Amino acid sequence: MVKLSLALFLAAFFIVGCPDEEKANSMDNPQESAIETKKSQDRPENQDYEKATFAAGCFWGIQAAFDKVPGVKSTLVGYTGGKTENPTYRQVCTDKTGHAEAVLIEYDANQITYEQLLDVFWQIHDPTTLNRQGPDVGTQYRSAILYHNEEQKKAAELSKQNLQKSGKFKKPVVTEIVPASTFYKAEDYHQQYFQKNPNASCHIPEFILKPERIVKTEEEWKKQLTKVQFEVTRKKATELPFSGKYDNFFKKGTYRCIGCGNELFPSETKFDSSCGWPSFYEATSDEKIEKKPDRSYGMVRTEVLCSRCGAHLGHLFNDAPQTPTGLRYCINSAALDFEEKK
Ligand SMILES: [Zn+2]
C-alpha cells in the first residue's frame, strides 16, 4: 500500500502560489505559537514514533501531502532553522527571521521508512530553485531536510546524491541538509489548512491534495482478505448477527477499513444496540465514508462504504434516539480492523 500511494506522487507540478494576503489575513497569536517542539504537539508524544522535519515551500501543501502518506501518524506546521525566538507568521514573511516554513512529522518506522519519506519530499517540490517554490520567494520558502539523528543525515545525503545522479533535474539540487533545531508551532489557522479550506491552492501537484482512491482487482482483494472479509466488503454480504469479533466489544481505539486501513470510526462513538453487529453513531469524518441508497431485498436502506477503497461496510439507520446523533451505523465486523489505543 505504501508503494501504491507513493507512486501517486509521480507527476507534473502545478505551479500555483499560496496567496500571502490570505495567509496573513487571520490574526497572529504570538502567545499561542511561541512553544517549543516538545510542548507543541497537540497530542502527547508517542515514544513508538520517529520524527522527521522537512521544509519545501509553503507549508500548507507540504503538510497536506504528508498527511496522506500511510505510516505518517501526525504532522505539525511551523517555523524552524532561524534565530528569532517564538516567531509569528508575519515576522517569518519578512524574510528576516532566518526561519523556514516547515513540517514536523511523526511516523511509524514499521510502516514507512525515512527513505520513503525522502522520496515523497523530493516529489512534492522543486529542489533546484534556491529560496523559491513557484511564486513564493524568500529564504522562508527554502528547500531543507532537517535531520534528527546521524542515520537521517546519512540517508538524506545519499538520497540527494542519488536524485542528482538520476538526471530528473538538469539544474543542481540546492536542498540544505542541516540538523533539526527548535521547532516553533505555527498559528492554529495554518494547521491542516487545506482540510479547513478546500479551495485553497499551492505549489504542489493538485491531485495530491485530493483523497486517494485505491483500486484493486477481484483477484488482488481475494489474496488480501479472508473469505468472509471478501464476501462482505466486495460482494456486499452481511455476516451472521452476533458472529462478528467486534460485536459486544468495547475496547478503546480506532476502527479502520479492513481493505485499506482508512480510519472509519473512533471507539468513543460505538454503542450497544443489541442488534448483533457493531454499532456506531458517528464516523471519524464525513470524508471517510460514502453513503448510497440501497433498494435491495425490497427495502429502502442507506449503504455505507469506505470512501478510499469502496469496501461495503454496512448500513445506516435512523433508529438510535439514545445516541447524540440518533443514527446507527450498523457495520460488519468483517469490514473492520481494530487498532487498540495504547
Ligand atoms: Zn477502505
For the segment 77-112, what is each residue's pLDDT rounded down to a tens digit? 999 999 999 999 999 999 999 999 999 999 999 888
Q: Which residue has the higher pLDDT, 109 or 19?
A: 109
- Residues of the chain with pLDDT > 70, as a percent, come to 83
User: Which amino acid, 261?
Assistant: G
Specify the domain boundaries for CATH 3.30.1060.10 within the chain.
2-209
For ligand 1, the distance from its centroid to the CA atom of residue 300, given in whole angstroms, is 24
Contact criterion met (CB below 8 Å) for 256 and 337: yes
Q: Which CATH code fits 218-340?
A: 2.170.150.20
Active-site residue, from 58, 202, 260, 309: 58
The residues with which 185 forms a beta bridge, in sequence order, are 78
For ligand 1, the distance from its centroid to the CA atom of residue 261, given in whole angstroms, is 6
Q: Which CATH code fits 2-209?
A: 3.30.1060.10
User: Global pTM?
Assistant: 0.55
Which residues have beta carbons under 5 A from ligand 1 (an ion)?
257, 259-260, 262, 306, 308-309, 311
User: Is 260 annotated in the active site?
Assistant: no
For ligand 1, the distance from its centroid to the CA atom of residue 305, given in whole angstroms, is 8
φ, ψ dihedrals at 331, nearest 5°: -115, 140
User: Is 330 annotated in the active site?
Assistant: yes
State the residue for C-alpha cell 540527494: 160
Most distant CA pair in the chain: distance in Å? 68
Active-site residue, from 18, 257, 306, 330: 330
For the segment 155-184, what is each residue's pLDDT rounded down to a tens digit? 999 999 999 998 888 899 999 999 999 999
Name the CA dihedral angle for 30, 33, 39, 42, rounded to a multiple of 10 degrees: 140
For ligand 1, the distance from its centroid to the CA atom of residue 316, given in whole angstroms, is 17
